[in-house]
Amino acid sequence: MNPTSPLSTQVKSRNQRRPRRWLPWAGAVVLLTLIVIGFLPRPIPVETTRVVKGPLRVTVNEEGKTRIEHRYVISAPVAGQLRRIPFRAGAEAVCGRTVVAVIDPAPSAMLDPRARALAEANRDTAAANLEKAREQEGFAAKELKRIETLFQEKTVSPQELENAQWRETAAAKQLSAAESALRQAEAELKEFPPGGGTDVVQHPLEMRSPINGKILRVLEESARVVSVGTPLVEIGDPSQLEAVIEVLSRDGAAISPGAKVEMDQWGGGAPIEGRVRLVEPAAFLKVSALGVEEQRVNVIVDLVTPGDQRRSLGDAFRVEARIVVWESEGVLKVPSGALFRRGQEWAAFVLANGKAERRHVRTGRSNGNETQILDGLNEGEEVILYPGDRVKEGGRAKQVRVGVM
Protein backbone atom coordinates (compact mmCIF):
# COMPACT_ATOMS: atom_id res chain seq x y z
CA MET A 1 0.00 0.00 0.00
CA ASN A 2 1.25 3.35 -0.88
CA PRO A 3 1.80 5.48 2.26
CA THR A 4 0.49 8.45 0.44
CA SER A 5 -2.74 6.84 -0.58
CA PRO A 6 -6.03 8.08 0.91
CA LEU A 7 -6.65 4.81 2.78
CA SER A 8 -3.39 4.95 4.74
CA THR A 9 -4.06 8.54 5.68
CA GLN A 10 -7.41 7.63 7.26
CA VAL A 11 -5.89 4.76 9.32
CA LYS A 12 -3.19 7.04 10.65
CA SER A 13 -5.66 9.71 11.74
CA ARG A 14 -7.81 7.14 13.59
CA ASN A 15 -4.74 5.87 15.52
CA GLN A 16 -3.91 9.42 16.59
CA ARG A 17 -7.41 10.00 17.93
CA ARG A 18 -7.40 6.77 20.04
CA PRO A 19 -6.94 7.71 23.78
CA ARG A 20 -3.99 6.37 25.83
CA ARG A 21 -5.86 4.44 28.53
CA TRP A 22 -2.74 3.66 30.71
CA LEU A 23 -2.05 7.27 31.65
CA PRO A 24 -4.68 7.52 34.46
CA TRP A 25 -3.37 4.37 36.05
CA ALA A 26 0.16 5.65 35.98
CA GLY A 27 -0.89 8.90 37.62
CA ALA A 28 -2.74 7.03 40.37
CA VAL A 29 0.32 4.93 41.12
CA VAL A 30 2.54 8.01 41.34
CA LEU A 31 0.07 9.79 43.63
CA LEU A 32 -0.22 6.78 45.90
CA THR A 33 3.55 6.53 46.10
CA LEU A 34 3.86 10.16 47.08
CA ILE A 35 1.21 9.75 49.78
CA VAL A 36 3.00 6.74 51.28
CA ILE A 37 6.33 8.57 51.22
CA GLY A 38 4.72 11.58 52.89
CA PHE A 39 3.42 9.48 55.78
CA LEU A 40 6.73 7.71 56.39
CA PRO A 41 8.55 9.03 59.58
CA ARG A 42 11.33 11.43 58.78
CA PRO A 43 14.76 11.04 60.40
CA ILE A 44 15.12 13.18 63.51
CA PRO A 45 18.09 15.56 63.36
CA VAL A 46 20.35 14.89 66.34
CA GLU A 47 23.74 16.01 67.62
CA THR A 48 26.22 13.24 68.20
CA THR A 49 29.66 12.70 69.61
CA ARG A 50 32.03 9.81 69.81
CA VAL A 51 32.92 7.68 72.79
CA VAL A 52 36.63 8.34 73.32
CA LYS A 53 39.42 7.58 75.73
CA GLY A 54 41.23 10.44 77.40
CA PRO A 55 42.05 12.15 80.68
CA LEU A 56 39.28 12.78 83.19
CA ARG A 57 39.51 15.01 86.24
CA VAL A 58 36.92 15.31 89.02
CA THR A 59 37.16 18.58 90.96
CA VAL A 60 35.38 20.49 93.70
CA ASN A 61 34.95 24.10 92.57
CA GLU A 62 34.44 26.72 95.29
CA GLU A 63 35.43 30.24 96.18
CA GLY A 64 37.96 31.01 98.87
CA LYS A 65 40.35 33.65 100.11
CA THR A 66 43.98 33.95 101.02
CA ARG A 67 45.33 34.66 104.47
CA ILE A 68 48.71 35.11 106.09
CA GLU A 69 49.81 31.95 107.84
CA HIS A 70 51.12 33.61 111.01
CA ARG A 71 49.80 36.98 112.10
CA TYR A 72 50.72 38.79 115.31
CA VAL A 73 48.57 41.28 117.21
CA ILE A 74 50.64 43.57 119.43
CA SER A 75 48.62 44.44 122.55
CA ALA A 76 49.26 46.80 125.45
CA PRO A 77 50.94 44.88 128.29
CA VAL A 78 50.25 47.67 130.79
CA ALA A 79 47.75 50.45 131.23
CA GLY A 80 49.03 53.88 130.33
CA GLN A 81 49.28 56.68 127.79
CA LEU A 82 49.81 55.39 124.24
CA ARG A 83 51.94 57.61 122.06
CA ARG A 84 50.79 58.22 118.49
CA ILE A 85 51.79 55.36 116.19
CA PRO A 86 53.56 56.80 113.10
CA PHE A 87 53.20 53.73 110.87
CA ARG A 88 50.68 52.92 108.13
CA ALA A 89 49.53 49.60 106.71
CA GLY A 90 52.26 48.19 104.48
CA ALA A 91 55.22 49.59 106.40
CA GLU A 92 58.21 47.30 106.80
CA ALA A 93 58.88 45.80 110.22
CA VAL A 94 62.22 44.28 111.30
CA CYS A 95 62.27 41.68 114.05
CA GLY A 96 63.54 43.13 117.32
CA ARG A 97 64.39 46.53 115.83
CA THR A 98 61.23 48.27 114.68
CA VAL A 99 59.44 49.96 117.60
CA VAL A 100 55.80 49.71 116.65
CA ALA A 101 54.30 51.33 119.77
CA VAL A 102 55.39 53.20 122.91
CA ILE A 103 53.37 53.39 126.13
CA ASP A 104 54.02 55.66 129.10
CA PRO A 105 52.79 53.61 132.09
CA ALA A 106 50.18 55.30 134.23
CA PRO A 107 51.29 56.18 137.78
CA SER A 108 50.21 53.60 140.33
CA ALA A 109 47.28 54.54 142.53
CA MET A 110 49.27 53.18 145.49
CA LEU A 111 51.62 56.19 145.20
CA ASP A 112 48.91 58.57 146.40
CA PRO A 113 49.71 60.04 149.90
CA ARG A 114 46.17 59.51 151.02
CA ALA A 115 46.38 55.85 150.01
CA ARG A 116 49.63 55.50 151.96
CA ALA A 117 48.07 56.98 155.08
CA LEU A 118 45.12 54.66 154.69
CA ALA A 119 47.46 51.66 154.32
CA GLU A 120 49.35 52.63 157.46
CA ALA A 121 46.06 52.97 159.37
CA ASN A 122 44.98 49.55 158.13
CA ARG A 123 48.31 48.12 159.31
CA ASP A 124 47.91 49.64 162.78
CA THR A 125 44.33 48.41 163.05
CA ALA A 126 45.38 44.92 161.99
CA ALA A 127 48.16 44.90 164.59
CA ALA A 128 45.74 45.99 167.35
CA ASN A 129 43.24 43.33 166.32
CA LEU A 130 46.02 40.75 166.43
CA GLU A 131 46.93 41.69 170.03
CA LYS A 132 43.29 41.50 171.03
CA ALA A 133 42.88 38.10 169.37
CA ARG A 134 45.98 36.80 171.18
CA GLU A 135 44.63 37.86 174.55
CA GLN A 136 41.25 36.32 173.84
CA GLU A 137 42.86 33.10 172.69
CA GLY A 138 45.07 32.97 175.86
CA PHE A 139 42.11 33.61 178.13
CA ALA A 140 40.03 30.91 176.37
CA ALA A 141 42.87 28.40 176.69
CA LYS A 142 43.29 29.05 180.45
CA GLU A 143 39.55 28.86 180.98
CA LEU A 144 39.44 25.53 179.19
CA LYS A 145 42.12 24.10 181.48
CA ARG A 146 40.17 25.18 184.58
CA ILE A 147 36.95 23.65 183.24
CA GLU A 148 38.74 20.40 182.41
CA THR A 149 40.11 20.22 185.98
CA LEU A 150 36.69 20.84 187.48
CA PHE A 151 35.14 18.29 185.12
CA GLN A 152 37.57 15.63 186.33
CA GLU A 153 36.49 16.45 189.88
CA LYS A 154 32.90 16.19 188.70
CA THR A 155 32.15 19.71 189.73
CA VAL A 156 30.89 21.04 186.34
CA SER A 157 28.59 19.48 183.80
CA PRO A 158 29.66 18.14 180.38
CA GLN A 159 27.80 21.01 178.70
CA GLU A 160 30.00 23.59 180.45
CA LEU A 161 33.09 21.67 179.28
CA GLU A 162 31.83 21.70 175.67
CA ASN A 163 31.15 25.46 175.84
CA ALA A 164 34.70 26.09 177.05
CA GLN A 165 36.14 23.96 174.24
CA TRP A 166 34.05 25.85 171.66
CA ARG A 167 35.22 29.26 172.99
CA GLU A 168 38.85 28.15 172.83
CA THR A 169 38.49 26.93 169.21
CA ALA A 170 36.76 30.16 168.12
CA ALA A 171 39.46 32.28 169.75
CA ALA A 172 42.18 30.29 167.94
CA LYS A 173 40.48 30.91 164.58
CA GLN A 174 40.10 34.63 165.28
CA LEU A 175 43.82 34.76 166.08
CA SER A 176 44.67 33.13 162.75
CA ALA A 177 42.42 35.59 160.87
CA ALA A 178 44.02 38.57 162.65
CA GLU A 179 47.51 37.37 161.69
CA SER A 180 46.45 37.09 158.02
CA ALA A 181 44.94 40.60 158.08
CA LEU A 182 48.18 42.02 159.47
CA ARG A 183 50.28 40.31 156.78
CA GLN A 184 47.97 41.72 154.08
CA ALA A 185 48.19 45.24 155.46
CA GLU A 186 51.99 45.05 155.62
CA ALA A 187 52.15 43.78 152.03
CA GLU A 188 50.07 46.72 150.81
CA LEU A 189 52.29 49.13 152.69
CA LYS A 190 55.42 47.69 150.99
CA GLU A 191 54.10 48.97 147.63
CA PHE A 192 54.97 52.50 148.72
CA PRO A 193 58.52 53.76 148.29
CA PRO A 194 60.58 54.05 151.45
CA GLY A 195 60.60 57.40 153.21
CA GLY A 196 57.06 58.27 152.11
CA GLY A 197 58.08 59.70 148.71
CA THR A 198 55.70 59.56 145.78
CA ASP A 199 58.04 60.38 142.89
CA VAL A 200 58.83 57.11 141.08
CA VAL A 201 60.41 57.16 137.64
CA GLN A 202 58.12 55.51 135.05
CA HIS A 203 60.17 54.49 132.00
CA PRO A 204 58.36 54.34 128.61
CA LEU A 205 57.58 50.82 127.47
CA GLU A 206 58.65 50.09 123.88
CA MET A 207 57.02 47.25 121.94
CA ARG A 208 59.07 45.91 119.05
CA SER A 209 58.14 43.77 116.08
CA PRO A 210 58.42 40.02 116.82
CA ILE A 211 58.99 39.08 113.13
CA ASN A 212 60.28 40.36 109.81
CA GLY A 213 57.25 41.39 107.81
CA LYS A 214 54.86 44.23 107.23
CA ILE A 215 52.32 46.09 109.30
CA LEU A 216 48.91 44.83 108.20
CA ARG A 217 46.69 47.11 110.27
CA VAL A 218 47.10 49.90 112.78
CA LEU A 219 44.30 49.32 115.27
CA GLU A 220 45.03 52.30 117.54
CA GLU A 221 46.66 55.18 115.67
CA SER A 222 46.02 58.22 117.87
CA ALA A 223 47.55 58.90 121.26
CA ARG A 224 45.19 57.95 124.05
CA VAL A 225 44.93 56.16 127.36
CA VAL A 226 44.76 52.41 126.87
CA SER A 227 44.01 49.57 129.25
CA VAL A 228 45.82 46.27 129.60
CA GLY A 229 45.26 44.01 126.58
CA THR A 230 44.17 46.73 124.12
CA PRO A 231 45.17 45.59 120.57
CA LEU A 232 47.41 48.15 118.90
CA VAL A 233 49.08 46.82 115.72
CA GLU A 234 48.72 43.70 113.55
CA ILE A 235 51.89 42.39 111.88
CA GLY A 236 52.45 39.56 109.39
CA ASP A 237 54.59 38.36 106.51
CA PRO A 238 52.62 38.67 103.22
CA SER A 239 55.01 36.30 101.45
CA GLN A 240 53.83 33.45 103.70
CA LEU A 241 50.30 32.96 102.40
CA GLU A 242 47.79 30.13 102.51
CA ALA A 243 44.29 29.79 101.11
CA VAL A 244 41.09 28.92 102.95
CA ILE A 245 38.43 27.28 100.76
CA GLU A 246 34.90 26.76 102.09
CA VAL A 247 33.35 23.58 100.69
CA LEU A 248 30.25 21.58 101.48
CA SER A 249 30.84 19.01 104.18
CA ARG A 250 29.99 16.14 101.80
CA ASP A 251 32.67 17.40 99.39
CA GLY A 252 35.13 17.90 102.21
CA ALA A 253 34.79 14.24 103.16
CA ALA A 254 36.12 13.29 99.70
CA ILE A 255 39.16 15.61 99.85
CA SER A 256 42.43 14.18 101.12
CA PRO A 257 45.54 16.05 102.33
CA GLY A 258 48.00 16.48 99.48
CA ALA A 259 45.31 16.92 96.81
CA LYS A 260 46.23 19.26 93.97
CA VAL A 261 44.53 22.67 93.86
CA GLU A 262 44.38 25.24 91.07
CA MET A 263 43.31 28.82 91.86
CA ASP A 264 42.49 31.49 89.31
CA GLN A 265 40.51 34.74 89.06
CA TRP A 266 42.89 36.24 91.61
CA GLY A 267 43.92 39.15 89.41
CA GLY A 268 47.03 37.68 87.85
CA GLY A 269 47.68 35.76 84.69
CA ALA A 270 48.45 32.07 85.21
CA PRO A 271 46.57 30.04 87.83
CA ILE A 272 48.19 29.53 91.22
CA GLU A 273 48.99 25.97 92.21
CA GLY A 274 48.60 24.62 95.73
CA ARG A 275 48.30 21.51 97.86
CA VAL A 276 45.71 20.66 100.48
CA ARG A 277 47.33 20.69 103.90
CA LEU A 278 44.32 20.17 106.13
CA VAL A 279 40.58 19.60 106.04
CA GLU A 280 39.37 21.03 109.33
CA PRO A 281 37.68 18.37 111.49
CA ALA A 282 34.72 20.58 112.48
CA ALA A 283 32.12 21.95 110.05
CA PHE A 284 29.97 25.05 110.54
CA LEU A 285 26.55 26.23 109.45
CA LYS A 286 26.36 28.91 106.76
CA VAL A 287 23.36 30.44 105.01
CA SER A 288 23.82 30.81 101.26
CA ALA A 289 22.76 33.82 99.18
CA LEU A 290 19.52 31.98 98.40
CA GLY A 291 18.74 31.51 102.08
CA VAL A 292 19.65 27.81 102.16
CA GLU A 293 21.35 26.48 105.30
CA GLU A 294 24.52 24.55 104.41
CA GLN A 295 27.05 22.64 106.45
CA ARG A 296 30.47 23.77 105.27
CA VAL A 297 34.04 23.01 106.24
CA ASN A 298 37.31 24.89 105.69
CA VAL A 299 40.02 23.39 103.49
CA ILE A 300 43.48 24.84 104.18
CA VAL A 301 45.72 25.01 101.09
CA ASP A 302 49.48 25.66 100.94
CA LEU A 303 50.56 27.71 97.91
CA VAL A 304 53.13 25.95 95.73
CA THR A 305 53.63 28.71 93.14
CA PRO A 306 56.78 30.72 93.99
CA GLY A 307 56.27 34.08 95.62
CA ASP A 308 57.89 36.04 92.76
CA GLN A 309 55.09 34.84 90.45
CA ARG A 310 52.33 36.13 92.73
CA ARG A 311 53.74 39.34 94.16
CA SER A 312 50.44 41.20 93.77
CA LEU A 313 48.56 38.59 95.82
CA GLY A 314 47.87 39.75 99.36
CA ASP A 315 45.99 38.89 102.51
CA ALA A 316 42.22 38.15 102.25
CA PHE A 317 42.24 38.17 98.41
CA ARG A 318 39.42 36.27 96.69
CA VAL A 319 40.27 33.22 94.57
CA GLU A 320 38.31 30.58 92.67
CA ALA A 321 39.69 27.16 93.51
CA ARG A 322 39.47 23.78 91.80
CA ILE A 323 40.37 20.98 94.20
CA VAL A 324 41.24 17.77 92.35
CA VAL A 325 39.45 14.86 94.01
CA TRP A 326 40.24 12.23 91.37
CA GLU A 327 41.98 12.11 87.98
CA SER A 328 43.11 9.43 85.55
CA GLU A 329 44.47 9.04 82.02
CA GLY A 330 42.98 6.84 79.30
CA VAL A 331 39.44 6.83 80.68
CA LEU A 332 36.54 5.79 78.44
CA LYS A 333 34.19 8.77 78.63
CA VAL A 334 31.25 10.57 77.07
CA PRO A 335 29.68 13.98 77.66
CA SER A 336 27.23 13.87 80.55
CA GLY A 337 24.53 15.25 78.24
CA ALA A 338 24.44 11.95 76.37
CA LEU A 339 23.25 10.01 79.45
CA PHE A 340 19.74 9.79 80.86
CA ARG A 341 17.94 7.80 83.51
CA ARG A 342 16.03 4.65 82.62
CA GLY A 343 14.51 3.40 85.84
CA GLN A 344 17.35 2.87 88.29
CA GLU A 345 20.00 2.67 85.58
CA TRP A 346 21.76 5.02 83.22
CA ALA A 347 21.24 4.69 79.47
CA ALA A 348 22.39 6.28 76.22
CA PHE A 349 21.31 6.22 72.56
CA VAL A 350 23.86 4.97 70.05
CA LEU A 351 23.43 6.06 66.40
CA ALA A 352 24.00 2.97 64.24
CA ASN A 353 22.93 2.63 60.58
CA GLY A 354 20.74 5.70 60.83
CA LYS A 355 18.75 4.35 63.79
CA ALA A 356 18.82 5.06 67.51
CA GLU A 357 19.79 2.09 69.66
CA ARG A 358 19.28 2.36 73.42
CA ARG A 359 22.06 0.97 75.61
CA HIS A 360 22.15 0.49 79.37
CA VAL A 361 25.50 1.74 80.67
CA ARG A 362 27.41 1.54 83.92
CA THR A 363 29.01 4.81 84.89
CA GLY A 364 31.95 5.74 87.09
CA ARG A 365 33.33 9.14 88.02
CA SER A 366 31.85 12.36 86.69
CA ASN A 367 32.89 16.01 86.79
CA GLY A 368 29.57 17.34 85.55
CA ASN A 369 30.72 17.78 81.95
CA GLU A 370 32.09 14.31 81.24
CA THR A 371 31.31 10.90 82.74
CA GLN A 372 33.40 7.76 82.92
CA ILE A 373 31.88 4.70 81.20
CA LEU A 374 32.63 1.35 82.81
CA ASP A 375 30.38 -0.84 80.66
CA GLY A 376 27.78 -0.59 77.87
CA LEU A 377 29.60 1.53 75.29
CA ASN A 378 32.65 0.99 73.10
CA GLU A 379 35.28 3.41 71.96
CA GLY A 380 34.46 5.10 68.66
CA GLU A 381 30.67 4.64 68.82
CA GLU A 382 28.44 7.62 68.06
CA VAL A 383 26.14 8.62 70.92
CA ILE A 384 23.29 11.12 70.72
CA LEU A 385 23.62 14.27 72.77
CA TYR A 386 20.58 15.50 74.70
CA PRO A 387 18.20 12.93 73.12
CA GLY A 388 15.00 14.26 74.72
CA ASP A 389 11.58 12.65 74.19
CA ARG A 390 11.67 12.64 70.39
CA VAL A 391 14.32 9.97 70.11
CA LYS A 392 12.84 6.48 70.44
CA GLU A 393 14.30 3.01 70.45
CA GLY A 394 14.82 1.99 66.81
CA GLY A 395 13.75 5.42 65.52
CA ARG A 396 15.44 6.97 62.52
CA ALA A 397 17.91 9.75 63.26
CA LYS A 398 20.11 11.96 61.17
CA GLN A 399 23.40 13.34 62.34
CA VAL A 400 23.64 17.10 61.95
CA ARG A 401 26.83 17.89 63.81
CA VAL A 402 29.57 15.93 65.46
CA GLY A 403 30.34 17.12 68.97
CA VAL A 404 33.98 17.59 69.87
CA MET A 405 35.03 16.58 73.41
- Condensed to tens digits (0 to 9), the pLDDT of residues 260-315 reads 999 998 888 889 999 999 999 999 999 988 889 999 999 999 999 998 888 888 88
Instruction: Give just the sign of the alpha carbon dihedral 130, 135, 141, 147.
Output: negative
Indicate if the pLDDT at residue 197 is higher than 60.
no
Tell me if residue 272 falls in helix, strand or coil: strand
d(CA 250, CA 36): 58
328 vs 403, which has greater pLDDT? 328
Q: Give the residue-averaged pLDDT of 313-328.
A: 92
216 Rama class: left (phi>0) / alpha (psi -120 to 50) / beta: alpha
- Condensed to tens digits (0 to 9), the pLDDT of residues 198-209 reads 455 568 999 999
Angle value at C-alpha 319, between 270 and 327, nearest 5 degrees: 70
Q: Beta strand pairing status for 213-218 and 231-236? A: antiparallel
Least confident of 11-20, 113-122, 141-150: 11-20
CA 351 to each of CA 48, 87, 404: distance values in angstroms, whole numbers, following the listed order? 8, 72, 16
Q: Give the residue-averaged pLDDT of 220-236.
A: 93
Answer for the pair 332, 53: CB distance below 8 angstroms, yes or no.
yes
| Cα–Cα nearest to 271, from 346, 221, 322 | 322
pLDDT at residue 236, rounded to an integer: 92
pLDDT at residue 251, rounded to an integer: 93
pLDDT at residue 239, rounded to an integer: 87
pLDDT at residue 392, rounded to an integer: 85
E strand segments, 26-164: 44-50, 52-68, 71-75, 80-82, 92-93, 99-105
Q: In which element (H, E) is residue 374 found?
A: strand 370-375
Alpha-carbon dihedral angle through residues 242, 248, 251, 256, given to the nearest 10 degrees: 30
- Condensed to tens digits (0 to 9), the pLDDT of residues 234-257 reads 999 988 999 999 999 999 999 999
Task: Identify the band that residue 1 occupies on the pLDDT scale cut at 50, 70 and 90.
Answer: very low
pLDDT at residue 38, rounded to an integer: 62
Indicate if the pLDDT at residue 340 is higher than 50.
yes
- Percent pLDDT > 90 in the chain is 50
Indicate if the pLDDT at residue 404 is higher than 50.
no
Edge-to-edge order in the sheet of strand 205-208: 205-208, 99-105, 80-82, 224-226
Instruction: Give just the sign of the alpha carbon dihedral 193, 198, 199, 205.
Output: positive
E strand segments, 336-369: 340-342, 345-352, 355-366
Q: Give the residue-averaged pLDDT of 39-43.
A: 66
CA 355 to each of CA 45, 337, 378, 394, 398: distance values in angstroms, whole numbers, following the listed order? 11, 19, 17, 5, 8
Which class in CATH covers the domain with range 41-69+237-405?
mainly beta
Answer for the pair 385, 349: CB distance below 8 angstroms, yes or no.
no
The domain over range 72-107+202-236 is classified in CATH as 2.60.120.10: no
d(CA 62, CA 269): 19
CA 305 to each of CA 38, 241, 321, 347: distance values in angstroms, whole numbers, following the listed order? 66, 11, 14, 43
d(CA 262, CA 272): 6
Task: Identify the band that residue 82 occupies on the pLDDT scale cut at 50, 70 and 90.
Answer: very high
Task: Identify the band that residue 102 occupies on the pLDDT scale cut at 50, 70 and 90.
Answer: very high
Answer for the pair 320, 44: CB distance below 8 angstroms, yes or no.
no
